[in-house]
Amino acid sequence: MNHPGLIIITGLSGSGKSTAIAAFEDAGFYCVDNMPVALLPKFLELPVDQCADIAGLVFGMDLREKDFISKYPNIFQKLEEKGYHLDILFLEANEEVLLRRYSQTRRQHPLTPNKGILQAIRTEKLELEGLRKIAGTIIDTSKTNIHELKASILKFAREKMRGVVMRIQVMSFGFKYGLPQYTDMLMDVRFLANPYFQPELKTLDGETDAVKAFITDQETTTIFLKKYLDLLDYLIPLYEKEGKAYLTIAFGCTGGHHRSVAIARTVFDHLQRMGKPVEIIHRDIDN
């Protein structure tokens, strides 16, 4: 008997698993975090997966469950023998980053009752090494912020979804903070007039009416938007026809605070009026 695929999110504590699960939920997946692995077969007997509006099933599993390491090999094997395909997504980050994240959040590592934080991180890495080896996808979050991680997870999620329409993510960013890790179409809008040099607009961002008006009232902007939106109107149906599950469109300016934000919002509004499933992320607006 063939069963739908299951996505298992696991990896090092502090590597972004909670963000990943939240991203899957945003994409329409049914998610259960900290699922005891021994209960997974029983859970799958429930008719949850038969709901038409559920894109798939996602389970967060890691060393928060004390018996996870000893039990998962046998249970995963039995599920695969029954026809389930387990897609394991493993998140990790380097020691320096994990230490900094724990210092900032002041959360307790699941192994710290008996170990110091650095020793706990190293022990966890060793205990999860076997699971990492069988993971279909490994994501290193050491150099990604929360928005970039969410974008990569959503891209992964769309590839796993069953029979759903293409979703679009519109992103603004600042070139001074680096290029986005995951994007399909990228547009540099630094050719537009910069509100930063207007004293009354410098401290505002591209979501304010004053900044948006300053940018969109420019003739250059008007011509650009007409041509660019015409291009999107032409391309998006072709991407949909090709079966693309997820499309990321990114707009960059110097700091990701004014021009890219205003243009991304304009494009988002246009796509929303077209009835497209679309979301917007301003990656660097708070930098």
Q: Give the span between the Cα atoms of 77 and 156, in whole angstroms.
A: 24
- Per-residue pLDDT for 185 more than 70? yes
Q: Taking the alpha carbons of 30, 157, 165, 84 in that order, is the dihedral positive or negative?
A: negative
52-71 residue pLDDT tens: 567 789 999 999 998 999 99
Please give the pLDDT value at position 59: 96
Kindly report the backbone phi and psi dihedral angles of residue 78, in degrees, each rounded to the nearest multiple of 5, phi listed first: -65, -40
Selection from 15, 181, 160 nearest residue 88 by Cα: 160
Encode burial over 44-57: b for 16+ CB neighbours within 10 A, e otherwise.
Answer: beeeeeeeeeebbb
90-104 residue pLDDT tens: 999 999 999 998 888
182 pLDDT tier (thresholds 50, 70, 90)? confident
191-229 residue pLDDT tens: 999 999 999 999 999 999 999 999 999 999 999 999 999
Q: State the average pLDDT over residues 20-30.
A: 87
Q: Give the span between the Cα atoms of 127 and 110, in whole angstroms.
A: 13
Domains and CATH numbers, the chain: 6-160 (3.40.50.300), 167-282 (no CATH)
Residues 6+ positions from 273 with CB-CB distance below 8 Å:
none
